[in-house]
Structure 1
Amino acid sequence: MSLPHSETPRVAPVDDPTPEVADLLGRTLSDAGGTPLTIFRTLARHPRMLKRFNVLGGFFLTRGTLPSRDRELAILRTAWNTGCEYEWGQHVLIGRDVGLTDTEIEAVTTPSASTPEPALLAIVDELIDHDDLGDEAWRTLVERYDTDQALEFVLLVGFYRMTAGFLNATGVQREDHLPRFPAPEHR
């Protein structure tokens, strides 16, 4: 069951960072105008945490071994399952950049046999619902990926589930340019 999300930030993003924090923020994703994303400016309230968060998040986005389409489908399904519109919007943009179509992205909300990668989305669902995988789901994962990639997939879903909890609980507000969730009939 989803809780209603805060309409206002519970933790204000950093707007006037110290030089040390500005340096950390300079290594994060920014909007088209060069302003660090709200998630990172909020995490900047805890600079040591931001630094470590960037290391793991950066690994998944730039150094991981999963196919980028699979990665983005898994993150989008995680965002959908956790009701995290901020994460959804950021990864719609990233998903488009790696070749996902808007039709494929919207299909993530209602998996079916015609959905791109329905087996992967089912694994995401199982991880989120149970914090575990049954034998069949695990077999599907290791038939598709090598051991490193299977471990990475499980950790990816966990990382973005954790991130969604952070975003939802602290009331991080979406940047205006981010896509919103699909129409209510999909929810």
Structure 2
Amino acid sequence: MSATKPARIEPGGLRELGLLNWVIAKIGARAIRAPRFSLFHVLGQHRLLFLSWLPYSGILLGMMSKLPVQDIETVILRVAHLRNCEYELQQHRRRARSKGLDADLQARIFEGPDADGLTDRQRALITATDEFVVTRGVSPQTWAKLAQYLTRPQLIEFCMLAAQYDGLAATITTLGVPLDFPD
């Protein structure tokens, strides 16, 4: 989200989130080292949906994931870049750095599958992500290439991950979720 867009739903507090979601949002903020986890403070206002979405999202982020965390972050960064979602980019640039994707590799991910210095696996992931987000599918050629690197469960998870972060980017942008960090 651009910093100039106003929030359509302001981040809530204890009253709007309820005790459980407020506590989860506070724990989340501590985990990302921010005063507030805006996404949780917004989505948490739909109490049941938030509690349903949280474990699903956690699985896709690496908690019991079938995909290596570097693959996960590659896909998320590429989706966020394609969707111009500054909130996702801000969150996942930091997380990706902590998982071994330095600034140079992130720049190559943003440049696209033809960037110098990418592995064949990274090229396959980025190409498949581009196709998935832009065309809502993956071509047979790209699927065959991706299947050289991913198992059947990982291929399923790739689709769910790309769809989750594409939808999340749209939700964040539409709701105008404020950034968590001043940079």
Partner of 1:183: none
Partner of 2:98: 97
Partner of 1:14: 12
Contact kept? 1:5, 1:168, Cα under 8 Å: no
Letter in 1 for 2:21: V
Partner of 1:69: 70
Compared CA separation, residues 126 and 5, structure 1 to 2 (3 A): farther
Q: Which stretch of the first structure deviates more once superposed, 109-118 or 23-32?
A: 23-32
Shift of 1:97: 0.8
Number of residue-to-residue matches in the alignment: 175
Partner of 2:38: 38
What does residue range 1-187 of structure 1 map to in structure 2 within 5 Å? 7-16=5-14, 17-26=17-26, 28=28, 30=30, 31-32=32-33, 35-61=35-61, 62-111=63-112, 112-116=114-118, 117-177=122-182
Question: Quick one: distance in 1 between partners of 2:75 and 2:160?
Answer: 11
- For structure 2, the residue ranges without an aligned partner over 5 or more in a row are none
Shift of 1:20: 3.0
Question: Quick one: distance in 2 between partners of 1:124 and 1:137?
Answer: 10
Percent of aligned pairs with the same residue? 22
Question: Quick one: distance in 1 between partners of 2:94 and 2:2?
Answer: 24
Shift of 1:171: 0.2
The RMSD of aligned alpha carbons is 2.1
User: TM-score, normalising length from structure 2?
Assistant: 0.87
Q: Which stretch of the first structure deviates more once superposed, 10-19 or 155-164?
A: 10-19
Question: Quick one: distance in 2 between partners of 1:159 and 1:28?
Answer: 19
Letter in 2 for 1:39: L
Letter in 2 for 1:114: D
- For structure 1, the residue ranges without an aligned partner over 5 or more in a row are 179-187
Letter in 2 for 1:75: I
Question: Quick one: distance in 2 between partners of 1:67 and 1:19?
Answer: 34
Shift of 1:136: 0.7
Letter in 1 for 2:141: E
Contact kept? 2:3, 2:179, Cα under 8 Å: no
Shift of 1:22: 2.3
Shift of 1:177: 4.5
